[in-house]
Structure 1
């Protein structure tokens, strides 16, 4: 461990950083769970208008993320005093909950005669939400490898951040359905207010942890003096895509996003149409996932320390996640679904525990190869490709619902429509996750020896 950079951040500072993750995950999980369902099953908007609207949102998102990553990966007038990441994290994070609230407060109009109004509102509010989210998350995730430099500190910080992030994910899954009543539009507005307040409070708590170290700011500004030239957006993107391990991770990330968004967005459909239960029944399913995830994080972190191999631990987590997804293809028992989600949550803890350490290893590889820090560009590209996962989810819903005869705004659905719900709850996610595991195993090459060499070289380059 002597080659690693020194660990210097207090646990309380890491926890404060983690509250930003809690804020983001609360809003993100609620967004992914209810947007499609709200506009289709509650408002009754045509499924293809919803699909097109959310694809436009995803395309905007895809372009927006790497562009923000590139544009913010430079010094500003406020950089010397406040850092280059902290002000942008706050600018995006503090109002993000309000934009989420707007998604669930569309104009009151008939879904047939006023379809274009609702369609336009869906596009406007989701793109506003994404703009703020991208500004926040690209800079928040870019801060991690720069602030936490050693493997041991990264794993500790990741463990704390992931625990708080998963807690936010769980609360975002558990609290909104407690305020939602199927068929009651006002209840969706109420849960939007709850999400907005939660996001604001947790972002305020995150302020100390998201501040950049004076030493890191000074090193960054000094590095610009040594090498002031900056590549073009296209050039930096091409450089990033030349790293094979990054490409493998991009495929993994796309398939993970497609799988998890499909599963989570399916749950309200399962509760209402397959199990015929009230919206509050979602709480126990999500609570089981939360318990499994939080309980497993310390075990995954311990496993990572034992193997000292982020690649191996990530591969184990994704493979197990695919295996535990498969029962959801056919289960129609509330209790059995809860048990399955508990087990699935335990594998999700592995993904969460390894996400930032693996991405940090990739950033280190790029620093050694190109001799400059471009975390924003890499995280922007990652989010760009992640939107492909959202497009896969939206298209699978629209195609499956069309082929199986799901009727928008109807209280009950046919048996074929219920089969369709099972498909996007279990089958589609399982296939995506097995593809992810295969590609990551085959082409991700950052083994422990290479990671250690990269960290030593970065220390020598003083970057």
Structure 2
């Protein structure tokens, strides 16, 4: 009598989750496409987390002026992001050079050079000299980073046309991203906390940026940019007036408005959790840098181990349901961190926040691409660059409001970066900014998610149509599937 070899359902779920099983691209193809993502992510970790503490605590730039730097940074984003996105849309594929991958190669050196240059501002300079140099360097970094982000996002969307493939690519890429980001966050915890050897900051940062550059130049070499990938795309051929008209139609649409609102209010708040952690552990908990580093490593290790299951849940139940589920542990984490006093308490509550941050990021990752797919379905024209620019103009320019609020609260409550012990009022300010402020934001942002129009079934319908539109006879994904 034959034995029943059918696997239990829970075991099959684990296998599917950790093998990133979905139709279309193979695991190796997904891996190759995911590798360039960390270039931008790690540089942004250094700039938006490491440098914030470095400039307040080592360079001595007032927290109010750090906030002002980001106000100007956001205004520049409001100007350059849609322009760069629309410009990339208009550029045709050029034989021998390509399009999106070529832009990735061109922009990486600018990002790397400006990332390391920010470390050489001198504490002896005047406040306004520090402010001016930091602002100028951010200007050059952001221009290159915007072009890189739009090009890479556009490339992923045509190379991986379905939500499921993009989720797998994002999850695989996140492992490398968080791994290298962790190396970057070790810099402030080990070197910038009280008692740390701040003189090692520049040498260590230089090594991190050098390793990052080498690894990802190699990653870009493996990325294919063939004419077949662009065969089914109808490039936008609009003048400036038509571009503005198309942009206004997009901005007024419900999918765009709800997605952007949630990104700004909710995701904008939780995206700065690592920067908040640095000040919280140093000034509130008074933890040694080694303790903060270990805590950060363990909580992220647990979250990353769970990421394939998060990925599976988003494929199965869609974005909205997973956001609803994550609200409960996130709320417990933020309330707990507001009142925590011991290291074990921080392990528990910060661990919940880290897991929920990654969970929310996984759940919302497909939203923007699905909106672009659905628009192409209706209009017949793919406006990736225009959409990406509009997404950036709002998320980057307004998403940093949370960081500006954080530094404003620190300044208003008396935080002084170069003193050994903060006042009781400053400690209360950091507790409020780390726990209560993001908690309010995720609950207010939930209103936008409730109004987000794409249900689980709608997401599946859009992915199916996107796959159909990308299956030209010479499309590499279609050919791969047909051969299989």
TM superposition score normalised by structure 1 = 0.87
The 1:311/1:208 distance shift into structure 2, 3 A limit, reads: farther
Deviation string 1:353-394 (CA, Å, 9 cap, x unpaired) is 233322221111111232211112222222222224554234
Tell me the distance in 1 between the aligned counterparts of 2:222 and 2:387. 22
Name the stretch that deviates more: 266-275 or 180-189. Answer: 180-189
- Of residues 161, 166, 181, the one that matches 1:169 is 181
User: Where does 1:357-396 land on structure 2 (aligned, <5 Å)?
Assistant: 357-396=366-405
- Of residues 334, 337, 354, the one that matches 1:328 is 337
Name the stretch that deviates more: 50-59 or 322-331. Answer: 322-331
Tell me the distance in 2 between the aligned counterparts of 1:30 and 1:271. 18
8 Å CA contact 2:50, 2:184 repeated in 1: no
8 Å CA contact 2:90, 2:237 repeated in 1: no
1:279 paired with 2:256, answer no
- Of residues 140, 154, 158, the one that matches 1:128 is 140
The 1:270/1:349 distance shift into structure 2, 3 A limit, reads: closer
The 1:27/1:459 distance shift into structure 2, 3 A limit, reads: closer
Q: Show the counterpart of 2:11.
A: none
Tell me the distance in 2 between the aligned counterparts of 1:458 and 1:396. 40
TM superposition score normalised by structure 2 = 0.84
In the alignment of these two chains, the number of paired residues is 448
SS at match of 2:120: coil
Tell me the distance in 2 between the aligned counterparts of 1:252 and 1:439. 6
Tell me the distance in 2 between the aligned counterparts of 1:118 and 1:66. 29
- Of residues 36, 47, 57, the one that matches 1:31 is 47
8 Å CA contact 2:167, 2:311 repeated in 1: yes
User: Where does 1:109-124 land on structure 2 (aligned, <5 Å)?
Assistant: 109-110=124-125, 114-124=126-136
The 1:69/1:229 distance shift into structure 2, 3 A limit, reads: closer
1:68 paired with 2:84, answer yes
Q: Show the counterpart of 1:338.
A: 347
- Of residues 166, 181, 189, the one that matches 1:154 is 166
Deviation of the 1:440 alpha carbon:
0.7
SS at match of 1:410: coil
8 Å CA contact 1:59, 1:387 repeated in 2: no
User: Where does 1:446-457 land on structure 2 (aligned, <5 Å)?
Assistant: 446-457=454-465
Cα RMSD of the aligned pairs, angstroms, is 2.7
The 1:326/1:29 distance shift into structure 2, 3 A limit, reads: farther
Deviation string 1:228-258 (CA, Å, 9 cap, x unpaired) is 5566332232122132122111111112443
Q: Show the counterpart of 1:266.
A: 276
Tell me, which stretches of 5 or more residues in structure 1 are unaligned? 1-5
Tell me the distance in 2 between the aligned counterparts of 1:276 and 1:383. 37
8 Å CA contact 2:259, 2:452 repeated in 1: yes
Tell me the distance in 2 between the aligned counterparts of 1:175 and 1:14. 31
Tell me, which stretches of 5 or more residues in structure 2 are unaligned? 1-21, 472-484
Deviation of the 1:333 alpha carbon:
1.7
